[in-house]
Amino acid sequence: MGILVFCDHDNGQFGAATLNAVSAARQIGGDIHLLVAGDTSGTIATEAAAIAGVAKVLVADGAEYAHGLAENLAPLICDLASQYSHILAPATTTGKNIMPRVAALLDVMQISDIIKIDDANTFQRPIYAGNALSTVRSDETTKIITVRSTAFEAALAEGGSATVEKIGNNGDSGLSSYVKSELSSTDRPELTSAPIVISGGRGMQDGANFAMLEKVADKLGAAVGASRAAVDAGFVPNDYQVGQTGKVVAPDLYVAVGISGAIQHLAGMKDSKVIVAINKDDEAPIFQVADFGLVADLFDAVPELEKELG
Amino acid sequence: MKVLVPVKRVIDYNVKVRVKADNSGVELANVKMAMNPFDEIAVEQALRLKEASGAEEVVVVSIGPAQNQETIRTALAMGADRGIHIEASHDIEPLAVAKLLKAVVERETPGLVLVGKQAIDDDCNQTGQMLAALLGWAQGTFVSALEVAGDKAKIVREVDGGLEHLEIQMPAIVSVDLRLNEPRYASLPNIMKAKKKPLDSLTVDELGVDINPRLTIVKVEEPAAREAGIKVADVKELVEKLKNEAKVI
Ligand SMILES: Cc1cc2nc3c(=O)[nH]c(=O)nc-3n(C[C@H](O)[C@H](O)[C@H](O)COP(=O)(O)OP(=O)(O)OC[C@H]3O[C@@H](n4cnc5c(N)ncnc54)[C@H](O)[C@@H]3O)c2cc1C
Ligand SMILES: Nc1ncnc2c1ncn2[C@@H]1O[C@H](COP(=O)(O)O)[C@@H](O)[C@H]1O
C-alpha cells in the first residue's frame, strides 16, 4: 500500500513544507501519491507532478476546496484512506487543522509533528516544547501523521514525472465558509524556509524599531521573526511568532535580538545551525543556546551590525 | 446558550521538565501543575460571552486523575458555573478525550465548545478538531477573535500567512489561540465561592467509551544539548566569526 501526502498550497503557490513531507514519505517507503485539492488547482498539479519521487498526483478541483476548510477536505481524504498505509501532511496551520478531523473520522490516533522515522510504524516527536522527545509506535491500519518541515530535507521540486488523475468531489458541507484573509505581504524569504532568520523580542520596544532588523535582514537575505512578547505587544503580526505555539524554524543562522530565551521560544529555534544572541543582560537564558553571544544594547549593536555588513 | 470548556491539568509552563530515568515518560511527582494556558483563555472567553449575555451557563470539564478537580476549581473561581470531572490516567490520548467529550456534549447539549488550541504537555493540537469530527460540527481553529450571532459565528484564525476570517455554523467547536484575550485572575472571595459550586463526577464506564491507548510509547528521551558557545566582545568580532569561522554569511 502506498502513502498519500496532502499538498498544502494557496491555489497560486505551492507550499514549500509539502516538499519536506514528501521526503518523510520517501523515508517510510512505498508509492507516493500527492493529493492536490483546490480551486483551479491545475498549475499546482503540474508543479506537484514534477516533484522527485512522486508516482501519482490526485486532483480534486472545486471551489469548496479553495480555502483549506477542514469540514470539506476531511471527507475527501477519508474516502481515499483505504488505499493507503500512511497519510501525511505538513504540520502547517492547514495540516494541523485538517488531519485530526481525518483521524477521528477514521477512528485513528494521529501522530503530530514527527521529527524522525525509525521504521514504518515508529516515529519520534517532540513533547513539552521539545524538552523531551517521545518515540511512539502505531499499529493502526492507517497512520495519520503531520510532519515538522524543519526535520526533513526538502524533496527536489523537479525531476519527477508523476501521472495526474482527476478525482471526484464531495461537495460543500455547508458548515463553514471563507470570508477573507489578511495576509502579511513581504518580499523577504518565507520564515520557515529562510536560510537566515533575525528575530526581535520585547527588547525592541516598539514596532517601528523592527525597521532596524529589516535593514539587516535585507542585507543578509534573511526573514524576520519575533517572540510571543513582541507579537502580543503588537510590534509585528502573529505570523512572525517563533516558538512552541508559533512557527518552528531551523535556519543556518538565527539571530535573536532582545529576546530572553524562554523555553517556549527556544522550542521554535534551537535546532538552528548557528545561533547568535544580542541581549544587554548577560544572564539571559538565550546565551545558553547561543554559539555567539553579544552582551550589548541592541540599539547600538543592530545599527552597527548593519554597517559592518557593508 | 450553554458553553462547555474542556480544561486540562498540565505541568506549569514555567517548569523545566525532566525525563524519567527509565525513559518511560517525564517526571510528574512533586512538580507544579496548572491549567493548560490555552484553556485559561478558553474559560475567559466563555465568561466574557456570559457577561455579554451571549451565554447562560459555563460548564468546565476535565479528564484525568483526582487532582484535576483542583484545575476545575480554578476555572470555577474564575467564574465558571459548574464542573464535571471524569477520572482517567494522566496520559489519555486526544482521540479518547474527544470521545469522552462527545459523550458529555450529548448529555449537556452546549451551543459552543471552547477548547485550547494545544495542550502544552503533549503538544498534540488534535482534540478540538477530533471532537468536531465526531459530532459532525464546524470547527474554528487557532482563533484570535470570536463573535457569535444567532446560529452563526464570525471567527478570525491565526494562520501561517497571517489572519483568516471564516463564518461557521453553530453549534461549533472553537479552539482558542494566544491573542484571543487575557485571562483574569481569580479573586480571593471568588476562590471561596468556587468551593461551593457544583462539581459532578462521571466515570468512563458510565459514558461507555473505550479509552485504551492506540499508540505505544517506546521511549521518552532528553534531546541532545547544544554545546556551549562563546561571548564575543563586539559587533566586529561577531561579523568576523560568522564570516570566517561559522561561514554562514
Ligand atoms: C502557552 C504559552 C505559549 C507560548 N508560546 C510562545 C511561543 O511560541 N514563542 C515565544 O517566543 N514565546 C512563547 N511564550 C512566551 C514565553 O514564555 C516568553 O514570555 C516570551 O518568549 C518572552 O519574550 P521576550 O524574550 O521577547 O521577552 P522578555 O522575556 O521580556 O525578554 C526581553 C529581553 O530583551 C532584553 N533587552 C531589553 N532591552 C534591551 C536592549 N535595549 N538591548 C538588548 N537587550 C535588551 C532583556 O534583557 C530581555 O532578556 C508562550 C508562553 C505560554 C504561556
Ligand atoms: N484530559 C483533558 N481534559 C480536558 N480537556 C482536555 C484534555 N486533553 C485535552 N483537552 C482539551 O483539548 C485541547 C487540546 O489538547 P491537545 O489536543 O492534547 O493538544 C486542550 O487545550 C483542552 O482544551
What's B15's domain CATH number? 3.40.50.620
In a domain, B35, yes or no: yes
Which of B93, B124, B138 minimises the CB distance to A71? Answer: B138
In a domain, B249, yes or no: no
Domain span holding position B173: 2-244
CA distances from B8 to A210, A282, B25, B181 (A): 36, 36, 18, 18
Q: Which atom of ligand 2 is closest in space to residue B86's alpha carbon?
A: 3
Q: Whose CA is nearest to atom 9 of ligand 1?
A: A243
Please give the Cα distance from A207 to A190 (Å, whole number).
Answer: 20
Whether A40 shows a pLDDT value over 80: the answer reads no
Q: Which atom of ligand 2 is closest in space to residue B125's alpha carbon?
A: 19
Inter-chain CB proximity A290 and B144 less than 8 Å: no
Share of chain A above pLDDT 90, in %: 95
**pLDDT tens string for chain B (249 positions)?**
999 999 999 999 999 999 999 999 999 999 999 999 999 999 999 999 999 988 999 999 999 999 999 999 999 999 999 999 999 988 899 999 999 999 999 999 999 999 999 999 999 999 999 999 999 999 999 999 999 999 999 999 999 999 999 999 999 999 999 999 999 999 999 999 999 999 999 999 999 999 999 999 999 999 998 888 999 999 999 999 999 999 999
Which of B120, B137, B214 minimises the CB distance to A129? Answer: B120
Inter-chain CB proximity A309 and B249 less than 8 Å: yes
A298 in ligand 1 pocket by Cβ < 6 Å?
yes
In a domain, B17, yes or no: yes
Phi, psi of B211 (to 5 degrees): -110, 15
What is the per-residue pLDDT for B90? 83
Contact A184, A224 (CB under 8 A): no
A247 in ligand 1 pocket by Cβ < 6 Å?
no
Give me the helix-helix angle, A93-105 and A70-80, nearest 10°. Answer: 60
pLDDT digits over A64-78, tens only? 999 999 999 999 999
The model's confidence at residue A14, banded by pLDDT at 50, 70 and 90, is: confident
Our count of domains for chain B comes to 1
In a domain, B26, yes or no: yes
Mean per-residue pLDDT over chain B, rounded? 97
In a domain, B187, yes or no: yes
Which of A138, A176, A298 is the best mutation test for B, with the most CBs of B within 10 A?
Answer: A176
Whether pTM > 0.80 for this model: the answer is: yes
Contact A291, A274 (CB under 8 A): yes
Residues of A in contact with B177 (CB under 8 A): 238, 245
What is the per-residue pLDDT for A186? 84
Distance from CA of A133 to the nearest CA of B (A): 5
